Amino acid sequence: SQQGEEDPQALSIQEGENATMNCSYKTSINNLQWYRQNSGRGLVHLILIRSNEREKHSGRLRVTLDTSKKSSSLLITASRAADTASYFCATDARLTGGGNKLTFGTGTQLKVEL
C-alpha cells in the first residue's frame, strides 16, 4: 500500500453513532495530521499528533497513533450530519531545507445520515 492509506474508503453511519477511520503509512514520520474536506472545497485542519504521542483529543475527535504499526485512527464521536465529508490523514516528513511536506492518503468518505 502507499503512504497514507485510509480505510475504509467509504463509511455510512447514522447520526449519533461513532465513526472510526484508519490510516496506515510506510515511512518514519515527525507527526501525523488529519484533515477534513467537504466536496470540492478546501482542506480543514482537524488535529495533529506528534510521533511521541499515542493519543490526542479535540472536542468530539480522538486520534491515536501507533508508530510500531505505522498506523493511526480518527474517531468521531456522536456524529452529526454536518460531519459528512472526506477525511484524510497526512504524514509529515521533515525536509533537508528545514521545512516539512505533507503526504496525503486516499481519504475516507464519511456520510452521516439523519
Partner 1 sequence: EPEVTQTPSHQVTQMGQEVILRCVPISNHLYFYWYRQILGQKVEFLVSFYNNEISEKSEIFDDQFSVERPDGSNFTLKIRSTKLEDSAMYFCASREDVPYEQYFGPGTRLTVT
Q: Which residues contact 8 (CB under 8 A, 6 or more apart)?
A: 21, 22, 108
20 or 109: whose CB is closer to partner 1? 109
41 or 54: whose CB is closer to partner 1? 41
77 or 104: whose CB is closer to partner 1? 104
15 or 104: whose CB is closer to partner 1? 104
Q: Which residues contact 58 (CB under 8 A, 6 or more apart)?
A: 46, 47
Using the structure block, give the residue that is written with the C-alpha cell 456520510: 111
**Residues 20-79 interacting with partner 1 (rule: CB under 8 A):** 30-31, 33, 35, 40-45, 48
Residue from 13, 73, 92, 109 that binds partner 1 (CB under 8 A)?
Answer: 92
In whole angstroms, the minimum distance from the beta carbon of 95 to partner 1 comes to 4
Q: What are phi and psi of 82, to 5 degrees?
A: -70, -10
Q: What are phi and psi of 50, to 5 degrees?
A: -80, 160
Tell me the number of residues near partner 1 by CB under 8 A.
28
Q: Are the CB atoms for 60 and 112 separated by under 8 Å? A: no
- Which residues are near partner 1 by CB under 8 A? 4, 30-31, 33, 35, 40-45, 48, 88, 90, 92, 95-107
